[in-house]
Amino acid sequence: MRHLCASLVVLASLVSVASATPRMSLPAGSPCATCHFSPTGGGGRNEVGYGAMGRTGAFDFRVFDSNQVVQDRLAMGYNIRIQYAHFGIPVRERNASGTESISIPDPKAIPMQVQINAGATITDGLTVSGSYNAGPKTPDGDVCDPVFPGMSCFELSVQAQSDTGWSARAGMMQPHIGIRPDDHTTLLRGDAAYPRQPVIPPNYAEWGGEIGYQPKSWFRAEMGAFHTDNLDKSLNQGTKASNLWPAAYALRVTFLPRITVGGGQDDSDDFDDFDAPPPTPPIGINTWFGASIYGSDQFYIANGFMGAGLQNGLESRLEVSHSERNEAYSNSSISLSTTYAIKDWFVPALRVERGVTDAMQKSKTWQYIGGIEFFLMPGVEIRPEYRVTKTDRYIFGQTTVQLHIFH
């Protein structure tokens, strides 16, 4: 198992394609499955998840009060994203007189995601959930038109949960690979030599099954096996670069302890004369740390992650990944991000990433992203960002704006 190789896709997008952000889990001290039908996060929200986001906005103007089509049984929703950005990379050009100039792609606004999702609660321990993603050519009749090789146009899974901590799910779904990001441009699932081409694309999914075990609130483990059809498309489309088995293995272990710091003693006496100051409440820190591996024959991607969050909305995450496609191509990446929810509807965010691809020659890429998640009203998010990508060939900085309409 060593090393990766990827080809550049002409249309490279800059948006997140999951329907939630990982930063919400740490301040709340709850795993992704608290709000989503899928334990990996993303896709449709359950009733708790809709309650957390369906009322978030600077202006409390609600089109919908609930995502429940059939109360406690069937929930439906959608995600529509429009992105304004420079799509492409700067190119050095030379005119007839020999003068050099840098050509930058013109900015434009394009629809980046049109997704519908649904989740059904069959019994208290049995759920069915899925989503469908339209593509650029779907209006012309192409029902399944993924933007990236290996991207799935749908997810569909059945999940059973027991009172003993065991769970099982099966279907067309995404394996547990580190922390599921809300921005597919992350180098953790990409290639530093071709930073605009994800190795694990957004909405990646395979047919497979998985068993989970969570005996305590602070510990969870998953183990599964998946087909490799979409993985083969992502790694080998155009050029054969990695031998794969018909099936892939997946394993993730996560610890989610809560740490309590400080807190004063109650100095009041038996006489309620209100002469003693109230005790200082302790500071609760929600944490997570863990590791995962997903692979098949020559290919694997291993991730390690940790994070901490306070209930005042401040959280930070660190994740590292190492992937290999064959004996001559590997990629190692690290990502550090932090967000602070000043208000539920106003969240500044920063992220710094570094990726190194080791092939015939080494390629290094840095990414710096600063932005704001601004929820204008329930179901409407505006996300302005400034992004800088620095590679061995170019440095490119640009302002992007994303409009996200969701339910």
In-domain check, residue 96: no
User: Are 228 and 248 spatial neighbours (Cβ–Cβ below 8 Å)?
Assistant: yes
In order, the DSSP letters of 61-109 are --S-S--EEETTTEEEEEEEEEEEEE-S--EEEE-TT--EEEE-PPEEE
Look at residue 403 in the predicted model and tell me its pLDDT: 96
User: Are 384 and 44 spatial neighbours (Cβ–Cβ below 8 Å)?
Assistant: no
Which range has the worst mean pLDDT, 61-65, 70-74, 331-335, 370-374? 61-65
In-domain check, residue 239: yes
Claim: this prediction has a pTM higher than 0.85: yes
User: Are 272 and 295 spatial neighbours (Cβ–Cβ below 8 Å)?
Assistant: no
- Residue-wise pLDDT for 8-57, tens only, equals 222 233 333 333 467 777 877 777 777 777 787 777 777 777 777 778 89
- Burial string for 305-328 (b: 16+ CB within 10 Å, else e) reads bbbbbbeebbbbbebbbbbbbbee
Q: State the average pLDDT over residues 330-341.
A: 97
Lookup: tokens for 209: 């099954």
> Regarding beta strands 154-161 and 166-173, do their DSSP bridges make them parallel or antiparallel, or are they unpaired?
antiparallel
Q: State the average pLDDT over residues 3-9.
A: 32
Lookup: tokens for 196: 């605009």
Convert 226-268 into a string of H (helix), E (strand) and C (coil).
Answer: EECHHHHHHHHCCCCCCCCCCEEEEEEEEECCEEEECCCCCCC
Q: State the average pLDDT over residues 151-175.
A: 96
> Regarding beta strands 395-406 and 74-86, do their DSSP bridges make them parallel or antiparallel, or are they unpaired?
antiparallel
CATH number, domain of 214, equals 2.40.160.10
Share of the chain above pLDDT 90, in %: 64
User: Are 395 and 71 spatial neighbours (Cβ–Cβ below 8 Å)?
Assistant: no
Q: 185 forms bridges with which residues in the sheet? A: none
Task: Report whether pLDDT(100) > 70.
Answer: yes
In-domain check, residue 150: yes
In-domain check, residue 277: no
Contacts of 99 (CB under 8 A, 6+ apart): none
Look at residue 116 in the predicted model and tell me its pLDDT: 95
Q: State the average pLDDT over residues 305-311.
A: 93
In-domain check, residue 244: yes
Q: How many domains does the chain have?
A: 1
Task: Report whether pLDDT(352) > 80.
Answer: yes
In-domain check, residue 261: yes
Look at residue 175 in the predicted model and tell me its pLDDT: 96
SS3 content of the chain, % helix, strand, coil (to 5): 10, 50, 40
Q: State the average pLDDT over residues 228-253.
A: 96
Lookup: tokens for 58: 């600077």
Give the domain range for residue 249.
22-87+105-265+285-406
Task: Report whether pLDDT(396) > 90.
Answer: yes
Q: How far is CA 383 from CA 41, 103, 237, 347, 388, in A?
A: 20, 26, 33, 10, 16
Task: Report whether pLDDT(188) > 90.
Answer: yes
In-domain check, residue 140: yes
Look at residue 167 in the predicted model and tell me its pLDDT: 95
Residue 52 is inside which H or E element, if any? helix 47-53
Contacts of 331 (CB under 8 A, 6+ apart): 3, 4, 190, 191, 192, 193, 199, 321, 322, 323, 324, 355, 356, 357, 358
Nearest residue to 243 via CA among 261, 231, 255, 259: 231
In-domain check, residue 211: yes
